[in-house]
Structure 1
């Protein structure tokens, strides 16, 4: 099983070398595409996603795409070696990125062997179903939403430790038919391209 999908439980940067090594050691990364959404001062924050990779690959080409504010031609981004889906407002990310066109692009890239990293909201939306914690929406409700469907045998919860989310996760688990795997801020769940779990790094 090849490690291709990396579900990060928290925000960048990636602080564990064991996770970075799995992403960089087996591949030459020349182009990174980061999918994010607009918020105030979004640009300076982007280097948190990329600095760990720039130290390995100094000639990196990096594109930042905000699909909530721009239309893009996905055919222009088929040569990416690494795709990062950022973190932020989970419901805004779901509204922006959970659609057939984006799913087709991600599926195509995974089939080519590209690695995909999701941080927090960007990790949540990759599942078939998405658990949105009460800590993560203005209604302070548990919500189960539809995602992109890259994995379906489980859901994930993010920021599990910093949000003290155990009671919420346990309640949410009663609403779905598969387990919810908790991810702490510095945890990573590593999957193959079919959504099978390879390992969990805590």
Structure 2
């Protein structure tokens, strides 16, 4: 079986320098030629924003990016280019829409297959929240203003995650999510912070990350 590689970030881009270097190295080992797919919600100014995701990777040798705007009905071109990718980035934004367009869809099936085969996947903010088995969306981040517990993409199965942790004051919500989901551990990630999981185990962290095991936080 191939090693799995998951990068979760507590806010938007850029990649941390160290984690970006690791992601770029892993993405360069693909058999189809290096091509990082960037999954995002299209909105005004998106082209100007994309270098925030790609600059660190370009500095580490990644030259080709395929920008794939998420839709309810992805085109054959979208599916083909995603399938050819040697690395996948799931951007930040409206978490509920990201979950709707990725989880339990053809896109999600492809990402899960690629991930299981060793393709590195990175999720920023919304992209991070939808990555575990259970997608926990706090009240501040959804239209119902409720704590939502929804099926996630299932790239990691023993934990719940919280993003914008300090900015959104998420400690109470993360502890509640741990209790309600009976997850083994909760990860709280501040903006400009992230975790690299190799084979679902924390391999490296960047910035401020909090670990909760049904008890007080451990930095």
Q: Return 5+ residue gaps in structure 2 as ranges.
A: 208-219
2-structure distance, mates of 1:163, 1:63: 32
Q: Deviations over 1:67-108 (max 9, x none)?
A: 226523323433312110000010111111112422321122
Cα deviation 1:2-41 (Å, max 9, x = unaligned) = 4611011111012x32212222345527311100112332
**1:9 pairs with 2:10:** yes
Q: Counterpart of 1:182?
A: 188
Q: Matched residue of 1:78: which SS?
A: helix
User: Which deviates the most, 23-32 or 150-159?
Assistant: 23-32
Give yes or no for contact 1:190–1:197 (8 Å, CA) kept in 2.
yes
Q: What per-residue deviation string (whole Å, max 9, x for no partner) do you get for residues 113-165 of structure 1? A: 22111101011111110110112113222111111111111110011012121
Partners of 2:154 and 2:171 in 1: how far apart?
24
Residue 54 of structure 1: which of 51, 58, 68 is its match?
58
User: Residue 24 of structure 1 aligns with which residue?
Assistant: 24
CA contact (8 A) 1:8 1:185 kept: yes
Check the 8 A contact 2:37/2:81 in 1, yes or no.
no
What is the match of residue 151 of structure 2?
Answer: 146
Q: Could you tell me how far apart the structure 2 residues matched to 1:6 and 1:146 are? A: 19
Give the deviation of 1:170 after TM superposition. 2.2
The 8 Å contact of residues 38 and 69 in structure 1, kept in 2 or not, is answered as no
Contact kept, 8 Å, 2:161 with 2:174, in 1: the verdict is no
- The 3 A distance-change label for structure 1 pair 150 and 51 is same
- 1:77 counterpart residue number: 82
| Unmatched segments (≥5 aa) in structure 1 | none
User: Is the aligned partner of 1:137 residue 2:142?
Assistant: yes
CA distance in 2, matches of 1:109, 1:85: 14
TM-score of the two chains, using structure 2 as the length reference: 0.81
Relative to structure 1, is the Cα distance of residues 111 and 150 closer, same or farther in structure 2, using a 3 angstrom cutoff? closer
Q: 1: distance between equivalents of 2:137 and 2:105?
A: 21
How many residue pairs get matched? 199
Task: Tell me if the contact between 2:4 and 2:119 (Cα under 8 Å) persists in the aligned partners.
Answer: no
Counterpart pick for 2:67 among 64, 67, 70: 64
